[in-house]
Amino acid sequence: MTQAPLIDPFARAITYLRVSVTDRCDFRCVYCMAENMTFLPKKELLTLEELDRMCSTFVGMGVEKLRITGGEPLVRRDIMTFFRSMSRHLDSGALKELTVTTNGSQLGRFARDLADAGVKRINVSLDTLDEEKFARVTRWGRLPQVLKGIDAALDAGLKIKINAVALKGFNEEELPRITEWCAEKGMDLTWIEVMPMGDLGNEDRVGQFWSLKDVRARYEEHYTVTDLAERTGGPARYVRLEETGQKIGFITPLSHNFCESCNRVRLTCTGELYMCLGQEDMADLRAPLRDWPNDDRPLQEAIRAAIGLKPKGHDFDYSRRRADGQVSRHMSHTGG
């Protein structure tokens, strides 16, 4: 039976669910994780079968786009079982898109399987093309492995968008190189302002912050930049570089609040539903999922009640030179 659509208190239809399938990752990016992370006990994580039931319940309530995240989603054991199972909702037409955000490290192994499961587009997080700097920002990462994975994904027919976090004093000078590399490979590129999430020890969030207004100004020094009206339902605003025909996205949670059109919620790997990335409010969906294994109605009621609490917007703010509005959980916990 089709459920009534999920509408939040501000008349926004919730059609997009981001699902973290693990808090684990094979990198330790400096703006995302502490170097020595303590990961959750496995019993707290939703099983792959529970993730299937949870996501299928959301699809039955009108969610049309699923983005699978982590941590690094492709390090979850047997994760392709989940992707293959979710493809039934693509086949039925209930789900319009199944997509992934990844660091690229495992794409060499899984790109073809993802394409076979119905994934058409993926986002790859990549902040630098300099091998030494890549090792520094990811702490554990290997750039050649990621670049080979990207090539494997392109060979499998996947459309790729590169997500680069704008980091002052780190990748400013690489902007032309990253842009040209993406153009050569036919990949879109989105820049993201660093977000104040989680205690990362010695990392200085305010010092890392490179406003995307400055990024855009840098583009205007080299290219003819045209604003695009296009919105994908996500937070990015787009421009076209006329010289290359490239689409460049800007995600600006700090210098511009993009909440008015928010259509998404985020599910953690433990079954917590965060109605807003920049707020601490969440709903525990694991309890109704596990307490009523043969009845989805309590889970549906819990989801609907949670959507009824979705706030109008977040409160990230660097304007006072402090990371005000900082949320305590790590980005890897919520799933990007």
| Token pair for 179 | 């842009």
Q: Map residue 209 onto helix, strand or coil.
A: strand
This prediction's pTM = 0.87
Q: Indicate the annotated binding residues for S-adenosyl-L-methionine.
A: 31, 71, 125, 195
Q: Map residue 332 onto helix, strand or coil.
A: helix
> What homologous superfamily is domain 16-334 in, according to CATH?
Aldolase class I (3.20.20.70)
pLDDT at 37: 79
Report the amino acid identity of residue 227. Answer: D
Asked if residues 153 and 122 have their Cβ atoms less than 8 Å apart, the reply is yes
Residues of the chain scoring pLDDT < 50: 197-203, 205, 316-331
Residues present in the chain in total: 336
The values of phi and psi at residue 247, to 5°, are: -100, 125
The values of phi and psi at residue 22, to 5°, are: -165, 150
pLDDT at 42: 86
Q: Indicate the annotated binding residues.
A: 18, 25, 29, 31-32, 67, 71, 101, 125, 161, 195, 259, 262, 264-266, 276
Burial class (CB in 10 A: 0-12, 13-18, 19+), 232: exposed
- Taken in order 21, 26, 31, 34, is the CA torsion positive or negative? positive
pLDDT at 314: 57
Q: Map residue 113 onto helix, strand or coil.
A: helix
Q: Map residue 105 onto helix, strand or coil.
A: coil
Query: What is the crossing angle of helices 175-185 and 212-222, to 10°?
Result: 70
pLDDT at 179: 96
- Beta strand 272-274 with 282-284: parallel, antiparallel or unpaired? antiparallel
Asked if residues 125 and 161 have their Cβ atoms less than 8 Å apart, the reply is no
Q: Indicate the annotated binding residues for [4Fe-4S] cluster.
A: 25, 29, 32, 259, 262, 276
Q: How far apart are CA 296 and CA 300, in angstroms?
A: 6
Q: Map residue 136 onto helix, strand or coil.
A: helix
- Domain segments of the chain as ranges: 16-334
pLDDT at 323: 42
Asked if residues 85 and 50 have their Cβ atoms less than 8 Å apart, the reply is no
The stretches of the chain forming alpha helices (DSSP H) are 48-60, 79-92, 107-116, 131-138, 143-155, 175-185, 205-208, 212-222, 286-291, 297-307, 331-334
Q: Indicate the annotated binding residues for GTP.
A: 18, 67, 101, 161, 264-266
| Token pair for 56 | 């299928």
CB atoms within 10 A of CB 77: 9
* CA 320 to the chain's CA centroid: 27
Q: How far apart are CA 185 and CA 161, in angstroms?
A: 11
% helix / strand / coil in the chain, to the nearest 5? Answer: 35, 20, 45
Q: Which of 127, 121, 172 is nearest to 31 (CA)?
A: 127
- Taken in order 284, 193, 16, 14, is the CA torsion positive or negative? positive
Planar angle of CA 335, 328, 277, nearest 5 degrees:
40
pLDDT digits (tens, 9 = 90+) for 76-116: 999 999 999 999 999 999 999 999 999 999 999 999 999 99
Q: How far apart are CA 282 and CA 220, in angstroms?
A: 41
Q: How far apart are CA 66 and CA 35, in angstroms?
A: 29
